[in-house]
Structure 1
Amino acid sequence: MKNFYVPPQFEVVRDPQRCVNCKVCVEQCPNGVHRFDETHNRMLADESKCVDCQRCVAYCPTHALKIEKNRCTLRESANWSSDAVEEIWKQAATGGVLLSSMGSPKELPVYWDRLLLNASQVTNPPI
């Protein structure tokens, strides 16, 4: 089956004029987004791993980094969230069903706590 491309949610913008290749972003990134390319002597970023924690931006001594929301991501609508579309793509690519234990992988509202039972509606004649 063909691989499908899901655009990364965030974009790492590095100013080449300010970046001094100090590698602080490599040390501080918990997700391994940044790496140093020895052959070209420059910093690179794997944007698919970025979760917008802004840690690299905060620790950059020359303020060369900026994390922006990618404009090429899926646009959400009232009917389809980007998470729902990505899950459908994953199911279509693998042929499997994405499962989670004990119900739903997402937070769902609890309606039972807001339920109001009016006993006067079930008596005959109404009270």
Structure 2
Amino acid sequence: MTSPVHSFIVDWFQRFDRLDPVEAFLPDLHPDVVWDMPDINPNLHGHARFKAWYAAVLDTLVPPTEHHLSNITVTDNTATFNVRLRARTKDGTIIEANVREDWHFTTRTDGTPLITHYTATFLEELPA
């Protein structure tokens, strides 16, 4: 049986695969979420920081993108897993990246997470 958190993670990345509008993500991010991503204005916080990051994504990539998830581990208020991203930029360049995701969250009454801290770390090597 799949946990609500595991299902949520899969759905979250399906939204990224489609490049859904920013409004599809905000309800699942705490208003003061720590969005720990490189190359984003460090003076921005919470939803504003996520919106700036996602605007750059939308300006760069074309749908669909592909996110392949592996090694998902969920504990009481954390989730860690690997993501292999494959996407095409607006100029036609194919990009691939392996990322380790570390999330902290509170659990809502329906069992799904409200993300309070989101960290993505680029990995040097692609896992086999």
Which bracket does the TM-score occupy, shorter chain normalised?
under 0.3
Instruction: Normalising by structure 2, report the TM-score.
Output: 0.20
Q: Which has the larger radius of gyration?
A: 1
The structure with the greater share of residues assigned to strand is 2
